[in-house]
Amino acid sequence: MRKRVPQPREAVLRMRPYSPPTEGRADKLRLDFNENTVGCSPRVIEFLQQRLDANRLATYPEYSEAKQELAAFFGVEHDEMLLTNGTDEAIQVLINTYVDDGDDVIILRPSYAMYRFYAEVAGAAIREIDYRSERLAFPLDELLLALRPNTRAILISNPNNPTGTAVSIEGIERILRRAPNAAVMVDEAYYEFCGITAIRHLGQYPNLFVSRTFSKLYGMAGMRLGCLFSQAENLASVHKAQSPYSVNILAAMAARAAVRDTAYISRYVTEVLAARELAYVSLEKLGIPYYRSQGNFVLLRIGERALEVRDRLREAGVLVRERTYELPGCVRVTVGTRDQMRRFLAELERIWK
Ligand SMILES: Cc1ncc(COP(=O)(O)O)c(C=O)c1O
């Protein structure tokens, strides 16, 4: 007899499992998840060591100190910012707050997988707008044309993972003006490598949501901390849909130390930008086409050998991410330090020849 189990919701039955390759990465050069490749500021570790004690761990987290310091750092009022368990939770609570079963949600393709993931869980009617085939540019006109009065949410990664391309603030503003009924989320996970931000426009647009993360530049992906910004009234609603202790106390503490070490952060950004230029030069020498990026990663058009190259790099201890399922022949490589890129490029050259 078949075992009887509870029947999942239709929306969940329709989903394909999503399991990024997160295991067994510890001793490899991690150029596969766009993380900080050298780790967080040593001040973060010191701060945690000084402040952490059994009593603090025994207590449910309190966020007021962290919220105050982070709001000041980001230049917003404390009620214009919500701490979240990574950007992923920001996406989830935004969708839970604004999107019902069957609602119209617009995302771009290819883009960060979790937009589709949470929209699917919610049972949304998802429409995907393709990045332009020409240089994978942001499809602004196509997106504006696709807007409907009943569009409930639009999720944009700026700059976009995995294409590395970005839309200007003027472009974002056109979307905001044309979609007054939609929650427009601008995910700025890679902001620091690009410099374009919509945060300064929160006051002007009641439909704007911006997210930032501590997973990339700040080197704290394992902590799971993100921030969602919007007008206070919006965040009061989103907060109602969020579990009260989803951010753990270590993350809330660590973020304060992370934003204080501005020298460490700006040094890393400068290093990555130099390493990205170095990578471009070598890729051109090798004759491997790539897309110019505004993030700490570059998309390479390897062609038919994409999976072989990914596998042989892994054998050499270098992890990169294949994207052939959405961009034929493409592999995405995280940009780390110049030394790390030299190692990657040397292995790539060896394999390529
Ligand atoms: C565009 C984008 N947003 C968010 C994330 C993940 O952020 P978090 O670790 O804060 O959930 C990623 C990670 O790859 C990303 O590429």
CB of 234 closer than 6 A to ligand 1?
Answer: no
Does the beta carbon of 295 lie inside 6 Å of ligand 1? no
Mind listing the pLDDT tens digit for each residue in 52-61?
999 999 999 9
pLDDT digits (tens, 9 = 90+) for 95-125: 999 999 999 999 999 999 999 999 999 999 9
Contact assessment for residue 185 and residue 91, using Cβ atoms and an 8 Å cutoff? yes
* 110 CB near ligand 1 (under 6 Å): no
Query: Ligand 1 centre from 189 Cα, in Å?
Result: 6
pLDDT of residue 24: 85
Does residue 207 fall inside a structural domain? yes
Residue 88 Cα, ligand 1 centroid: separation in angstroms?
7
CATH code of the domain in which 225 resides: 3.40.640.10
294 and 252 both lie in a single domain: no
Q: What is the pLDDT of residue 17?
A: 87
Residue of 292, 260, 265 lying closest to 277 (CA atoms):
292
167: closest CA among 155, 156, 152, 178? 156
* Phi, psi angles (nearest 5°) of residue 104: -80, 120
Residue for token pair 């919007």: 230
Query: Is 160 a pocket residue for ligand 1 (Cβ < 6 Å)?
Result: no
pLDDT at residue number 199: 98
Domain assignment of residue 5, yes or no: no
CA distances from 159 to 4, 47, 90, 224 (A): 46, 31, 17, 20
- Give pLDDT tens digits for 176-194: 999 999 999 999 999 999 9
The pTM for the full model equals 0.97
How many residues belong to the chain?
353
Residues 162 and 286 grouped into a single domain: no
The answer on 276 and 212 residing in a single domain is no
CA proximity to 297, closest of 226, 223, 193: 193
Domain range for 30 is 10-39+263-352
Kindly give the interhelix angle for 306-315 and 338-352, rounded to the nearest 10 degrees.
120
d(CA 191, ligand 1 centre) in Å: 11
Residue closest to 137 by CA, chosen among 26, 292, 289: 292
If asked whether residues 254 and 328 sit together in one domain, one would say no
Two tokens, residue 351? 């394999």
Separation of alpha carbons 12 and 15, rounded Å? 5
Distances (CA, A) of 38 to 219, 269, 278, 295: 8, 12, 18, 17
Domain match, 233 and 315 both: no
Which stretches of 189-261 are DSSP H helices? 232-240, 249-260
Measured CA to CA in angstroms, residue 341 lies from 266, 283, 316, 349 at distances of: 19, 11, 14, 12
For the Cβ of 226 lying below 6 angstroms from any atom of ligand 1, the answer is: yes
Beta strands in 242-325 (DSSP E): 290-291, 297-301, 318-319, 321-322
Instruction: Report yes or no on 3 lying in a domain.
Output: no
pLDDT, residue 3, reads 83
Residue-level pLDDT at 21: 83
| 103 pocket-lining for ligand 1 (C-beta < 6 Å) | no
Q: What is the CA radius of gyration of the chain?
A: 21
Q: Does the CB atom of residue 297 touch ligand 1 within 6 A?
A: no
Task: Quote the pLDDT of residue 2.
Answer: 74
What pLDDT, on a 0 to 100 scale, did the predictor assign at position 111?
98
